[in-house]
Amino acid sequence: MNFLPLWRYQNQLIDGAIVTLELTVISALAGLVIGIAGAVALKGRVTPLRWLVRGYIELFRNTPSLIQIFIVFFVLPSFGLKLPAFEAAAVALSLYFGAYSVEIIRAGLDSIPRSQVEAGQCLGLSGWQVFRHIILPPALRNAYPAVTSQFVLLLLGTSLASQVAADELFHVAGFIESRTYRSFEVYAVICAVYFAMAMSFKALFAIIGLAAFRWPRRR
Amino acid sequence: MRSFSLIDFVSLFAALRWTVALVALALAFGAPLALGLAMGRISRFASLRWAMAACIQVIQSVPLLGLLFFFYFGMPVFLGIQVPALVAVTVAYTLYTAAFLGEIWRGGLEAVKQAQWEAGACLGLSAWQQFRHIIAPQALRLSLPPTVGFLVQLIKGTSLASILGFVELARAGQVVSAATFQPLLTYALVAAIYFALCLPLTLWSRSLEARLDGSR
């Protein structure tokens, strides 16, 4: 066991980690936008749109992320849409994360009892005020743990982008391994880097959660 | 180059048996380990609880791809022995399954009220009898929906074995796609097969959950 030969690749490792973070954050933001739009559509009155969103959710949650990345990268070019590796992975991961986000956000909104909305209306609040002050705060609090754990799963899932040769952390691992032939050390280090990133995000989200949702908790 | 024919169709379905085999192996070894982890997590001994929590946390914070590569490429070099591919892959999927199922089942065990243990103790049952006859049946009912949900994750996760050259469904798709130059048809078919495997489980999990909700 000798980790020293890996030392000279630290710049590549850092660059890879940065690309992984970029991929994660971009996909998460795009996915959340999809999630909010999808949840609104599911709550809406347009039936075909609801079916469309349901179909999207089931399709993307019941097929492997790897196959989705392959389809965006290898199949879309035959429709004239040729995306570079990073962009293709970002599109596929956004759609994957979006499918989970719709369900999480919808569940968060559904967790508010109808009677609370009616209570707000009885107090003379407008539709927007009911949403802003009665539905949104507890819905956010209920959805927060699920969204953050899904975010960490997304961070780990970006490793699949290495399979279409996006220059993220896992791809860098393959590169270093091919140069040094130190498989054990390389993959131990890579796993440790992912572990450190995942734990940092978990700690960060826990702190944000404590600060943002401080009002009395349900017992 | 040749066109997509019946033989390609058959080869995709033939590869499905490895997907099923990987899931079966992961469950066969992972489930007992998960039970051990879950019981360790609710143990009386704080050190055991911490150790189990740390194991689960580490595995859940590392990509499945990382686990696979570590045990497939890294471990044999470290140990200096030849490890059959199937063994390496099984170890990785077993740890993955154990960590996630362990955490799900711990949640189920903790959801059963403490008073149930005490009631069992009052009836003169031993700790094991309390677990076996009072706690476990209730915890099983509670954790069945997320367990089925995890099964979907596991089936989707076996597609990563394709990267190590395992000819399961995803890999067979790559092979057929490369041979026929028909990525659209091939990957759509592969996705459809995964979908046909996973959707019934997702729907089952949801109906179990709904039934659970009504009875409480």
Of A63, A187, A198, the CB nearest to B191: A63
Confidence of residue A207 (pLDDT cuts 50, 70, 90): very high
Predicted local distance difference test score (pLDDT) of residue A44:
86
Specify the number of domains making up chain B: 1
Of B70, B183, B202, the CB nearest to A62: B202
Q: Which chain A residue has its CA at the smallest distance from B177's CA? A: A74
Yes or no: say if A171 and A16 are a contact pair by the CB < 8 Å rule. Answer: yes
Q: What is the residue-averaged pLDDT of chain A?
A: 92
Q: Which chain A residue has its CA at the smallest distance from B194's CA? A: A63
Q: What is the CATH classification number for the domain harbouring B96?
A: 1.10.3720.10
Kindly determine whether residue B63 and residue A170, on different chains, have CB atoms separated by under 8 Å. yes
Predicted local distance difference test score (pLDDT) of residue B32:
96
Predicted local distance difference test score (pLDDT) of residue B10:
87
Confidence of residue A37 (pLDDT cuts 50, 70, 90): very high
Domain that holds residue B126: 17-167
Yes or no: say if A132 and A181 are a contact pair by the CB < 8 Å rule. Answer: no
Closest by CA position to B90, among listed B150, B158, B12, B148: B158
Reported as a single tens digit per residue, the pLDDT across B62-97 is 999 999 999 999 888 888 888 888 999 999 999 999
Yes or no: say if B85 and B72 are a contact pair by the CB < 8 Å rule. Answer: yes
Closest by CA position to A200, among listed A132, A131, A157, A152: A152
Of A163, A184, A195, the CB nearest to B75: A184
Predicted local distance difference test score (pLDDT) of residue B6:
85
Kindly determine whether residue B63 and residue A62, on different chains, have CB atoms separated by under 8 Å. no
Predicted local distance difference test score (pLDDT) of residue A95:
97
Is residue A218 predicted with pLDDT exceeding 60?
Answer: no
Taking the C-alpha atoms of residue B157 and residue B170, their distance in angstroms, rounded to an integer, is: 10
Please identify which residue in the block is written with the tokens 């689960």.
B56
Predicted local distance difference test score (pLDDT) of residue B133:
93
B80 touches chain A (CB under 8 A): no
Predicted local distance difference test score (pLDDT) of residue B11:
87
Is residue A123 predicted with pLDDT exceeding 80?
Answer: yes
Predicted local distance difference test score (pLDDT) of residue A32:
95
Yes or no: say if B40 and B103 are a contact pair by the CB < 8 Å rule. Answer: no
A to B CB pairs, distance under 8 Å = 116
Of A64, A162, A190, the CB nearest to B194: A64
Is residue B1 predicted with pLDDT exceeding 70?
Answer: no
Instruction: Express as a percent the part of chain A with pLDDT over 70.
Output: 98
Taking the C-alpha atoms of residue B71 and residue A216, their distance in angstroms, rounded to an integer, is: 46
Taking the C-alpha atoms of residue B183 and residue A70, their distance in angstroms, rounded to an integer, is: 9
Enumerate the residues of chain A whose CB falls inside 8 A of the CB of residue B68: none
Is residue B214 predicted with pLDDT exceeding 60?
Answer: no
Average pLDDT over residues B193-210: 93
Kindly determine whether residue A68 and residue B173, on different chains, have CB atoms separated by under 8 Å. no
> For residue B62, is it within any domain?
yes
Is residue B181 predicted with pLDDT exceeding 80?
Answer: yes
Enumerate the residues of chain A whose CB falls inside 8 A of the CB of residue B160: 64, 66, 160
Q: Which of A122-131, A208-217, B171-180 has the lowest mean pLDDT?
A: A208-217
Q: What is the residue-averaged pLDDT of chain B?
A: 91
Average pLDDT over residues A5-22: 91
Is residue B205 predicted with pLDDT exceeding 60?
Answer: yes
Yes or no: say if B43 and B35 are a contact pair by the CB < 8 Å rule. Answer: no
Domain spans of chain A, in order of start: 4-212
SS3 B133: helix
Taking the C-alpha atoms of residue A201 and residue A205, their distance in angstroms, rounded to an integer, is: 6
The residue among B165 and B27 whose pLDDT is bigger is: B27
Predicted local distance difference test score (pLDDT) of residue A160:
95
Closest by CA position to B112, among listed B129, B145, B144, B134: B134
> For residue B116, is it within any domain?
yes
Homologous superfamily of the A4-212 domain (CATH): MetI-like (1.10.3720.10)
Average pLDDT over residues A110-135: 90
Interface of A with B (CB under 8 A): 1, 58-59, 61-68, 70-71, 74-75, 78, 152, 156-157, 159-160, 162-163, 170, 173, 177, 182-188, 190-191, 194-195, 198-199, 202
Please work out, in degrees rounded to the nearest 5, the angle formed at the alpha carbon of residue A215 by the alpha carbons of A30 and B57: 55
Is residue B140 predicted with pLDDT exceeding 70?
Answer: yes
Average pLDDT over residues B105-111: 93
Predicted local distance difference test score (pLDDT) of residue A80:
87
Of B57, B62, B170, the CB nearest to A194: B62
B64 touches chain A (CB under 8 A): yes
Reported as a single tens digit per residue, the pLDDT across A63-87 is 999 999 999 999 998 888 899 999 9
